[in-house]
Chain A
Amino acid sequence: MPNTPEHPCRITLGDEGPLLVEGPVEVTCADGSVAVSDRFVVALCMCRRSRMYPWCDTSHRRRTKPGEGPRRSAD
């Protein structure tokens, strides 16, 4: 979607997890490296734990130890 005054780029902030930004985007990281994505929405990592930084890889999720937390699929 073009980024115009009538259709500004939409950014969504949640309680936790990534910042959602309408793509395509070009992101310049602190070390000067540049990441580009043309996905319809990108998820920018805010927790800095992602192995695919600057993109979120769900590493922000709460971790549970064995026997703790709700039942879920083992996969």
Chain B
Amino acid sequence: MSPHRTGPSLPRARGVLSAGVTGYLRDEGALPDPDAARNADPYGDDLQLALYVCYELHYRGFDGVRPELEWDPPLLAVRAAMEDRFLTALRHDAPVESSLDEVLDGLLVEPVRGTGVSWFLQDRGELRHLRAYAAQRSLYHLKEADPHAWVLPRLSGRAKAGMAAIEYDEFGGGRADRVHAQLFADLMTDLGLDTTYGRYLDEGCAPMLTLVNLMSLFGLHRRLRGALVGHFAAVEITSSPASRRLADAMKRTGAGPAAEFFYTEHVEADAVHEQVVRRDVIGGLLEDEPGLAADITFGITATSFVEDRLGDRLLTDWQA
């Protein structure tokens, strides 16, 4: 084992699947039976944590886990069973019932008054809520835009150029201090949180794990490239108005300049990204592959479904 840490620590298990996967990664036990995946709650703590751990091997890995296990066939077989359970549930719960244009139009109107998490934080959020929110979101934002980079080799022409340009912006336009993941770490510092990658994985609630797993699932499978693009579009389109509310929450609570800046930067950047993702990425992809319209739509409906579950969970916790 290497003398220095090579990644975050493996998380505590939350059931048979996550116990089996983490034990196997420590070279300490057998993998879970794929049948356990077929019978698990597709959005539950156990399956989502086990899947998250499998996917993390493709990002930074874990301290003490052999890097070769990223492509270990028996582990990939268990992962495939969990992915199948998850994706089947998503296709059932986030069905494509309208055209892509209708679904996009639905995202492009803004309610005068909303009820989601960003509205709560804008109106009534205290620092403790903002800290809890940032700790959860850190599971994604400390690797912001990473899952979407996997789609680049699967795009061409206008879609590729547009996607790469947005990703370049997400990755700081060539400057390390402007990488959005770094801006989020700066926000966490303002809020008094630990910026170590993977630090809040044990605290990550199942809906947050589900959201990150959705991106990894769509990003890692070429056959789901349309869904990845739809997911990315949903994030970019809904980000600016929500980021404005969160920037206002950071300002009102005196969270600090970096905390406010992360969100004001996203108001401005995502107003641009939204335009480029619709015109060039979706427009270009549909020119190349018109058959992907339903998959792009699915990426959007699945994202809304998973985001809504996360929002409901956080609001339930805070209003209890």
Contact = CB atoms under 8 A, between A and B. Distances in A.
Interface of A: 12, 14, 17-18, 20, 38-43, 51-52, 55-58, 61-66, 69-75
10 contacts: A20-B275, A40-B165, A56-B272, A57-B267, A58-B240, A58-B241, A58-B270, A61-B110, A64-B110, A73-B234
Interface of B: 102, 105-119, 165, 168-169, 173, 234, 238, 240-242, 244, 264, 267-272, 274-276, 279, 303-304, 307-308, 311
Q: Which 4 A-B pairs have the closest CB atoms?
A: A74-B116, A70-B106, A75-B116, A58-B240
A62 B109 contact: yes
Given A40-B173, A61-B108, A75 B242 contact: yes
Contacts of A20: 272, 275-276
A74 B271 contact: no
Given A20-B275, A55-B271, A58-B241, A75 B118 contact: yes
B46 to A, nearest CB: 26
Given A58-B241, A74-B115, A64 B109 contact: yes
A64 B114 CA distance: 10
B169 A70 contact: no
Contacts of B269: 39
